[in-house]
Chain A
Amino acid sequence: MTAFITSTGRFLPGPAIGVDEVEDVLGLVEGKPSRLKRRILKSNGIETRHYAIDRTGRTTHSNTDMGVAAAEACLEESPLEAEDIGMLACATSQGDLPLPGFGSMVQGKLGIPSVELLSAHGICSSGTMALKAAYNTLRLGDQDTALVVSSELSSRMLKHTRYEAAGGHERMDFQTEFLRWMLSDGAGAMLLESKPRGRCLRIDWMRSFSHADAFPVCMQIGSPVDREDSRTWQDFPTYGEAEAAGALLIRQDLRLLENIVKLGVDGALRLIEEGTLDIQQISHFLCHYSSHHFKGKVYDMLEMAGALIPEDKWYTNLYTRGNTGCASIFIMLDEFLRDGRAAIGETILCMVPESGRFNTAYMHLTLVEA
Chain B
Amino acid sequence: MNSPPDVPALAELQARFAAALGADLARSDDHSAALAGCIVDDGLAPEARVQVYRNNVRATFEGALARTYPVLRRRVGVAHFASLVEDYRRDHPSRSGDLHWTGRHFPEWMASRMTGTDYAWLADLAGLEWACEEALLAVRSPPASADGLARLAPEALANTTLGLQPGLRLVGSAFPVWSVWQANQPDSAGDAVDPSLGAQYVAVVPGDDGLVLHSLPVERFDFVRQLAAGRTLEQALDASRLPVELLGEALAWLFGSGLVTQVGAPPQDGAGRVQAGIGARGPT
Partners in one complex: no
Taking Cβ atoms with an 8 Å cutoff, the residues of A that contact B are none
